[in-house]
Amino acid sequence: MSWDWQLYCTDMVTEEVAPKCFGAKGYETYLDAMVHAWGWTMTLALLGLAVALVVGILVGILRTVPNRKVAWLGEAWTELFRNIPLIVQLFLWYHVLPRLIPGAQSVPPMVLAFVGLGLFTSARISEQVKAGILTLPKGQRYAGQALGLTLPQTYRHVLLPMALRIVIPPVTSESMNIVKNSAVAFAIGIPELTQYAQQASEQSSFLQIFLPVTVLYFVSGFAINRVAKLIEVSVRVPGILGAK
């Protein structure tokens, strides 16, 4: 098996023609294409994670407020997004939304992809945030209100600082999952790692293509895990969840 990184043509010509087209405008090596696809994957995952964290925390808070109607809205959001497969949601964002909303046709597929990925993951993060808030003793909420804090102030200064520390480990798992779930974006034309692997494997061996792609997915997920671990250690409170 020859690990020749100079046979990949982005215009998908045959392997016999690929060496001739190397160096021409519009073509790149296997290695260049893989690194470029990795960049798309990480960009998609990080942007989706940002959306997931913001929306997931907000929805998780809504699900724990005393107002039942507001809490029901949070529950409905979570059930909606977590019970529809991710690939179906991406198809809805990519194929259906532009037909329903005028002007949505001009939205780049990348934006639709990371928003769809983020909202799908937000439902799972909201579940973690809700569990973290409900884990805290009810006396903390009552103590905040007894001090004259409003409900938003009680969440901001009393409940969330502790709850978010508690949910770092499960949120870390969701952060790693979002890198793996980004592979679904190839279905709407995002040139990420999985799409690269499918295209390049038509010109080369599966081992030569999918082995380094697998390693890149592992490295990406492991890097997020290590960063989250550092955050967990730096913000842990002594006496909470075994912290010292």
- Give the residue among 107, 163, 88, 162 at the shortest CA–CA distance from 131: 163
Asked if residue 215 is part of any domain, the answer here is yes
How many domains are contained in the chain? 1
pLDDT value at residue 241: 54
Angle, CA 158 vertex, CA 155 and CA 164 arms, to 5°: 75
Hey, what are 233's tokens?
A: 């250690």
102 vs 231: which has the higher pLDDT: 231
The CATH number assigned to the domain holding 85 equals 1.10.3720.10
Position 209 pLDDT exceeds 60: yes
Task: Please compute the mean of the pLDDT values over residues 202-226 and round it to a whole number.
Answer: 85
Residue 125 lies in a domain: yes
pLDDT confidence bin for 240, thresholds 50/70/90:
low
- Residue 192: name the closest of 59, 19, 42 by CA: 42
* Domain assignment of residue 240, yes or no: no
The larger pLDDT score, comparing residue 232 to residue 63, is at 63
End-to-end CA distance of the chain: 52
* Residue 59, pLDDT score: 95
Predicted confidence at residue 64, as pLDDT, reads 92
Token readout for 60 is: 């998780």
What does the pLDDT read at residue 137? 86
Within a domain: 222: yes
Q: Can you give the pLDDT at residue 17?
A: 42
Flag whether 1 is in a domain: no
Q: What is the span of the domain harbouring residue 114?
A: 18-235
In a domain, 130, yes or no: yes
pLDDT (tens digit, 9 = 90+) per residue, 138-174? 888 888 888 888 888 888 988 988 899 889 988 999 9
**Position 5 in a domain:** no
Q: How far is it, in rounded angstroms, from Cα 80 to Cα 16?
A: 49
Percent of the chain with pLDDT over 70: 85
pLDDT category, 69, cuts 50, 70, 90?
A: very high
- Side-chain-facing half-sphere of 191: CA atoms under 13 Å: 12
